[in-house]
Amino acid sequence: MPSSARTVAILCGALLMSLSPTIQSQTRFEQIGTIPGPANVVKTDGTHAYVVHHRTFTIFDVSDPTAPRQTGSLTLPEQIWQFRVRGDRAYVGANFHGLSILDVSDPTDPRELGAYKSLGQTKVGAVYDNRVASIDHMEGLVLIDVSNETAPTSLGSFFLDGYARDVVTSGPIAYATDSPTGVYVFDLGQEGQPEPIAVLHAPAAPRSALQVSDLPNGSTLLAGIGQGGLQVYDVTDPRAPVKTAAFDTPGEASGLALRQNLAFVADGSAGVQVVDLTDPTAPRIVGSFQTPRPARDVAAADSLLFVVVGQSEREGDDRDILILRTSG
CB count within 10 Å of CB 46 equals: 12
* Per-domain boundaries in the chain: 32-252+298-327
CB count within 10 Å of CB 129 equals: 13
Q: Which three-class secondary structure state does DSSP give residue 244?
A: strand
CB count within 10 Å of CB 264 equals: 27
140: left (phi over 0), alpha (psi -120 to 50) or beta: left
Closest CA to 177 of 191, 162, 192: 162
Closest CA to 233 of 266, 207, 265, 202: 202
List the beta bridge partners of residue 16.
Answer: none
Over residues 43-83, the pLDDT tens digits come to 999 899 999 999 999 999 999 999 999 999 999 999 999 99
Indicate the residue type of 98: G
For CA atoms 304, 310, 312, 314, give the dihedral sign.
Answer: negative
CA 90 to chain centroid = 15
- pLDDT score at 82: 95
Instruction: Kindly report the pTM of this predicted structure.
Output: 0.89
Supply the DSSP symbol for 97.
Answer: T
Mean pLDDT by 10 residues, the chain (328 residues): 40 34 63 95 95 97 98 97 95 97 98 96 95 94 97 96 90 92 93 94 78 90 90 96 94 94 96 96 96 96 95 69 93
CB count within 10 Å of CB 158 equals: 18
- pLDDT score at 317: 66
- pLDDT score at 313: 62
CATH code of the domain occupying 32-252+298-327 = 2.130.10.10
Q: How far apart are CA 178 and CA 181, in angstroms?
A: 6
